Amino acid sequence: MYVVRAPGRVNLIGDHTDYQDGFCLPVAIDREVVVRAVARTDGIVVARSDALEGVVEIPADGFEDPRRVVPEWGRSVAGVLRLLSHPDRPAVGFDADVTSTVPVGSGLSSSAAFAVAFAILAGEVGGYTTSPRSVALIAQEAEQTATGVPCGVMDQIASVFGRAGHALLLDCGSLDIVPVPLPDSVAVVVVHTGLARRLEDSAYAERRAACEAAAARLGISTLRDATIDQVADDPIARHVVSENRRTLAFVDALVAGDLELCGGLMDESHASLRDDFRVSTPELDVLADALVGAGGYGARLTGAGFGGCAVALVPSEDVEEVVTRACSRYVSATGLTPMPLVVRAVDGAGPVD
Ligand code: GLA
């Protein structure tokens, strides 16, 4: 029996920067995808999930076109197998059972964790290893093919390289990762708005295209290299450039133990995502405000936006009161049912003994 786990992630700051070679600060969280598998002798991969309908059946050699696979959740598995396909990597079939504690469609990267788990599992069963960086890049490309959404690499890197007790400062230009310790005095709180993400896929691609167009106008390959002055009149590009600065400033403040400053930078990040990048929703705005009003250091939408979750940093000793107060404010203002999670930073994906 082979068992592989892969965690979801929450991003503390640095959103819509990864596909412009920028900086982000994700945390691999204690909500994870677990895949249990036994080898088959007929070269077929069969996958079942406790939460998703249907049975996926595809050849282990990557021959199946990922975009034709049904049920649709099998497409990223097919994408992973196709990208792994190589004469040096035995394509051994397996029977896989998927369970997950990452809420689906919440912006906590359940699908990235899923693809990462399968990329590692295929190697375990086939008796070969793939470098962690390749696992992340393969999972990213498989997800892009499966969904058509041109996602960046943050989610997969976080799932693969997570470190217990740490956030990861990721430089998406070089893929350098610096683990940054999270002090015990602070808790990471994630609250789901209770509203699924809307328009996310098409708007994500539009925002990414707008960033690429802005970089092209400036004659640079990505907005990583733009200055604040160059983008002063372009809200989309201004968000990316200012968010990179905030992310680096946040890391300095976290290392210095200045949690008030960290919180202020999260609030600024939310405002920039709302006003300049325009990926917030009224519910996310209410939730972020409620988390700060209830005693959080700071709060912001996390991930792509358009629904899903807000993340807050909260003094550990007050976490229960802050969550209760924030949720009750949110319920009164919206009538929706929020779902709070207090998350811990965990190690990245890998086989479980
Ligand atoms: C989604 C994508 C990531 C990243 C975030 C926004 O989660 O999968 O690559 O772009 O949105 O920061």
Express each pLDDT in 158-213 by its tens digit: 999 999 999 999 999 999 999 999 999 999 999 999 987 766 778 999 999 999 99
Same domain, 102 and 193: no
Q: Tell me, yes or no, whether 294 lies in a domain.
A: yes
Q: Tell me, yes or no, whether 350 lies in a domain.
A: no
Mean confidence (pLDDT) of the chain: 97
Q: For the domain that residue 198 is a member of, what is the CATH number? A: 3.30.70.890
Global pTM value: 0.97
Average pLDDT over residues 290-294: 98
Domain containing 113 equals: 2-171
Same domain, 134 and 55: yes
Q: Tell me, yes or no, whether 176 lies in a domain.
A: no
pLDDT the model gives residue 353: 86
pLDDT the model gives residue 104: 83
Q: Is 234 a catalytic residue?
A: no
pLDDT the model gives residue 90: 95
pLDDT digits (tens, 9 = 90+) for 213-226: 999 999 999 999 99
Same domain, 50 and 23: yes
pLDDT the model gives residue 199: 61
Q: Tell me, yes or no, whether 242 lies in a domain.
A: yes
Residue 274 in contact with ligand 1 by CB distance below 6 A: no
Residue 4 in contact with ligand 1 by CB distance below 6 A: no
pLDDT the model gives residue 198: 66
Instruction: Convert the chain into a string of H (helix), E (strand) and C (coil).
Output: CEEEEEEEEEECCCCCCHHHCCEECEEEEEEEEEEEEEECCCCEEEEEECCCCCCEEEECCCCCCHHHCCCHHHHHHHHHHHHHCECCECCCCEEEEEEECCCCCCCCCHHHHHHHHHHHHHHHHHCCCCCHHHHHHHHHHHHHHHHCCCCCCHHHHHHHHCCCCEEEEEECCCCEEEEEECCCCEEEEEEECCCCCCCHHHHHHHHHHHHHHHHHHHCCCCHHHCCCHHHCCCHHHHHHHHHHHHHHHHHHHHHCCCHHHHHHHHHHHHHHHHHHCCCCCHHHHHHHHHHHHCCCCEEEECCCCCCCEEEEEEEHHHHHHHHHHHHHHHHHHHCCCCEEEEECECCCCEECC
Same domain, 261 and 326: yes
Same domain, 20 and 127: yes
Report how far residue 272's alpha carbon sits from residue 239's, in angstroms, rounded to the nearest whole number: 6
Instruction: Count structural domains, the chain.
Output: 2
Percent of the chain past pLDDT 70, that is, above it, reads: 99
Q: Which of 15, 18, 155, 289 is catalytic?
A: 155
Residue 61 in contact with ligand 1 by CB distance below 6 A: no
Q: For the domain that residue 138 is a member of, what is the CATH number? A: 3.30.230.10
> Looking at 171, 198, 219, which one is the last position of a domain?
171
Average pLDDT over residues 15-28: 98
pLDDT digits (tens, 9 = 90+) for 6-18: 999 999 999 999 9
15, 149, 277: residue to mutate for ligand 1 pocket, most atoms within 8 A of CB: 15
Same domain, 75 and 53: yes
Same domain, 154 and 188: no
Residue 18 in contact with ligand 1 by CB distance below 6 A: yes
Lowest mean pLDDT segment, chosen from 72-81, 108-117, 159-168, 190-199: 190-199
Same domain, 216 and 253: yes
Distance 30 CA to ligand 1 centre (A): 19
Same domain, 23 and 86: yes
pLDDT digits (tens, 9 = 90+) for 49-69: 999 999 999 999 999 999 999
> Looking at 122, 137, 171, which one is the last position of a domain?
171
Average pLDDT over residues 31-58: 97
Q: Tell me, yes or no, whether 308 lies in a domain.
A: yes
Q: Tell me, yes or no, whether 95 lies in a domain.
A: yes
155, 199, 224: residue to mutate for ligand 1 pocket, most atoms within 8 A of CB: 155
Residue 152 in contact with ligand 1 by CB distance below 6 A: yes
Same domain, 151 and 251: no
pLDDT the model gives residue 127: 97
Distance 9 CA to ligand 1 centre (A): 11
Query: Which residue CA neighbors atom 12 of ligand 1 most closely?
Result: 15
pLDDT digits (tens, 9 = 90+) for 274-288: 999 999 999 999 999
Same domain, 194 and 160: no
Distance 323 CA to ligand 1 centre (A): 25
Average pLDDT over residues 231-253: 98
